[in-house]
């Protein structure tokens, strides 16, 4: 087992990883930018190294700086968290070249599955349903390819995620313009302008399955997460299990995730994302070759530490869970992403000093955060302040607990999305579980 691991990230996910390392008796190394000297993950780690200026490309995304920090401190492995370099095959390869274990899949797996077009081919090979779409990236004959599928279509960046490089095209007259916009945005975000086309499924649910596979070929899958509540393709709230999935369908989803992991020869923890229509047909969407932001809902209902499983797999050990144990769950969990955004100004980012920080507590409450009273939120990074995760013995109890916890949450000095989450849990649609990816747009229109 490793003696020291560097965490190549910041904020709440860095703290999340450091906590597991402490429980495993492994020393942790934090890295930070000049803007993050006062960030809580710097204090929580056993050691901390400044790796550059505030801009992410000069610090958290600067591969030589991260590798140097690991070598200087004697870290044997690097945990990338999510975002930044977590799905970068060049970074994974750089770790290998420098004799450092990357806690994640191989560079080849990241490249194959991180490129959505090649991931679709692997899904097809594994017998997983995919939405009708182009077999490869589209470089010419845009209209011809789109008409083969039939409008409306979705243009998607092949090399990225997070809602970037995505365009819905309902009319052929808009195809060329939207193609150029999607490709340009993909190029700016991922240094790769490749895009492909998929049939657009109107008002689907977005469900995903967490899986893990060790180097001996043992694979497990966990109960699905429902991530349908989104704004501009960015998730706001996630829950597990999905109110739209029964046990039979759950088994099919889990088998699909395991099939993909086996087909790809994947080693590590990952997530397969699906779109599901109203007839409960599900279609492969993409693979995230890292830990998800919403992983705590899976941990909460299965009593599992996914970071621990990542470390065990990276150390060459066998998964600590059987397939049956991973599939078993208790109760219902909901995660609320609390962001520093101003709802009244079209969710404009809000920055400044936290003048008040009163967090919820009590039974069934987990809060993952790097915030504290007096902390000044930097302008350079993601706007997420905290992840509020609630558990209840059933969905109705989890919703009631969410309402109570959100009512206790007090943040002064910044605008937050706490009130937006109150709106969500009070919505009759959400309470009945009858939601889809268009839910937030309808909800926000109803409040204007």
Largest Cα separation within the chain, whole Å, is 60
Is the Cβ–Cβ distance between 360 and 381 less than 8 Å?
A: no
Give the residue carrying structure tokens 């945005």.
Answer: 185
Q: How far apart are the first and last CA of the chain?
A: 55
Is the Cβ–Cβ distance between 332 and 340 less than 8 Å?
A: no
Per-residue pLDDT tens digits for 373-419:
999 999 999 999 999 999 999 999 999 999 999 999 999 999 999 99
Q: Which domains does the chain have, with CATH numbers?
A: 4-103 (3.40.50.20), 132-199 (3.30.1490.20), 205-446 (3.30.470.20)
**What gap in Å lies between CA 86 and CA 92, rounded to an integer?**
8
What confidence score (pLDDT) does residue 191 get? 85
Please calculate the CA angle 207-112-160 and round it to the nearest 5 degrees: 60
What confidence score (pLDDT) does residue 162 get? 65
Q: What is the pLDDT along the chain (448 residues), one digit of tens a residue?
A: 999 999 999 999 999 999 999 999 999 999 999 999 999 999 999 999 999 999 999 999 999 999 999 999 999 999 999 999 999 999 999 999 999 999 999 999 999 998 878 998 999 999 999 988 887 889 888 888 899 899 999 998 888 766 778 899 998 889 999 999 999 998 888 889 899 898 888 889 999 999 999 999 999 999 999 999 999 889 999 999 999 999 999 999 999 999 999 999 999 999 999 999 989 999 999 999 999 999 999 999 999 999 999 999 999 999 999 999 999 999 999 999 999 999 888 899 999 999 999 999 999 999 999 999 999 999 999 999 999 999 999 999 999 999 999 999 999 999 999 999 999 999 999 999 999 999 999 999 888 6
Please calculate the CA angle 314-319-325 and round it to the nearest 5 degrees: 150
Q: Which residues pair with 50 in a beta bridge?
A: 32
What confidence score (pLDDT) does residue 268 get? 98
Annotated active-site positions, please? 290
What pTM was computed for the model? 0.91
Hey, CA dihedral for 14, 16, 17, 19, is it positive or negative? positive
Of 187, 181, 178, residue with least CA distance to 159: 187
**What gap in Å lies between CA 10 and CA 179, rounded to an integer?**
34
**What gap in Å lies between CA 103 and CA 92, rounded to an integer?**
9
Q: What is the DSSP string of 116-146?
A: HHHHHHHHHHTT--B-SB-SS---S-HHHHH
Task: List, in order, residues 6 or more apart from 291 with CB less than 8 Å away.
Answer: 13, 81, 82, 86, 269, 306, 307, 310
Hey, CA dihedral for 109, 111, 112, 116, is it positive or negative? positive
**What gap in Å lies between CA 94 and CA 63, rounded to an integer?**
8
Is the Cβ–Cβ distance between 138 and 197 less than 8 Å?
A: yes
What confidence score (pLDDT) does residue 365 get? 98
Is the Cβ–Cβ distance between 237 and 99 less than 8 Å?
A: no
């Amino acid at each position: 087992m490793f003696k020291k691991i560097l965490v190549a990230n910041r904020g709440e996910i860095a703290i999340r990883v450091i906590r597991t390392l402490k429980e495993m008796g492994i020393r942790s190394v934090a890295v930070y930018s000049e803007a993050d000297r006062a960030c809580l993950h710097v204090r929580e780690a056993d050691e901390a190294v400044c790796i550059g200026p505030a801009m992410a490309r000069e610090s958290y995304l600067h591969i030589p700086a991260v590798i140097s920090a690991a070598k200087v401190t004697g870290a044997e492995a690097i945990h990338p968290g999510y975002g930044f370099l977590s799905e970068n095959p060049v970074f994974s390869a750089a770790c290998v070249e420098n004799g450092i274990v990357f806690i994640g899949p191989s560079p080849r797996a990241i490249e194959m599955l991180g490129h959505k077009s090649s991931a679709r081919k692997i899904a097809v090979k594994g017998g997983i349903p995919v939405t009708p779409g182009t077999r490869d990236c589209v470089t010419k004959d845009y209209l011809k390819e789109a008409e083969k599928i039939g409008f409306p279509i979705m243009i998607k960046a092949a090399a990225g995620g997070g809602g970037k490089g995505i365009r819905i095209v309902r009319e052929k007259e808009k195809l060329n313009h939207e193609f150029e916009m999607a490709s340009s945005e993909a190029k700016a975000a991922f240094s790769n302008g490749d895009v492909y086309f998929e049939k657009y499924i109107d008002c689907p649910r977005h469900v995903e399955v967490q899986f893990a596979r060790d180097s001996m070929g043992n694979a497990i899958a966990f109960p699905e997460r429902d991530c349908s509540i989104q704004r501009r393709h960015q998730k706001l709230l996630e829950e597990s299990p999905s109110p739209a999935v029964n046990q039979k369908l759950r088994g099919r989803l889990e088998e699909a995730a395991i099939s993909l992991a086996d087909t790809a020869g994947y080693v590590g923890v990952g997530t397969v994302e699906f779109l599901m229509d109203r007839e409960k047909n599900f279609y492969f969407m993409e693979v995230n070759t890292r830990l998800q932001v919403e992983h705590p809902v899976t941990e909460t209902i299965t009593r599992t530490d996914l970071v621990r499983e990542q470390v065990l797999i990276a150390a060459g050990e066998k998964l600590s869970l059987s397939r049956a144990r991973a599939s078993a769950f208790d109760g219902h969990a909901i995660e609320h992403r609390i962001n520093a955004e101003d709802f009244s100004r079209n969710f404009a980012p809000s920055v400044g000093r936290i003048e008040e920080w009163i967090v919820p507590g009590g039974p069934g409450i987990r809060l993952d955060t790097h915030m504290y009273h007096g902390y000044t939120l930097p302008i350079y990074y993601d706007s997420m302040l905290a992840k509020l995760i609630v558990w209840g013995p059933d969905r109705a109890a989890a919703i009631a607990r969410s309402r109570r916890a959100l009512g206790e949450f007090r943040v002064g000095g910044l605008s937050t999305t706490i009130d937006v989450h109150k709106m969500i849990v009070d919505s009759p649609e959400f309470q009945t579980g009858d939601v889809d990816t268009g839910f937030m747009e309808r909800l926000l229109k109803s409040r204007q």
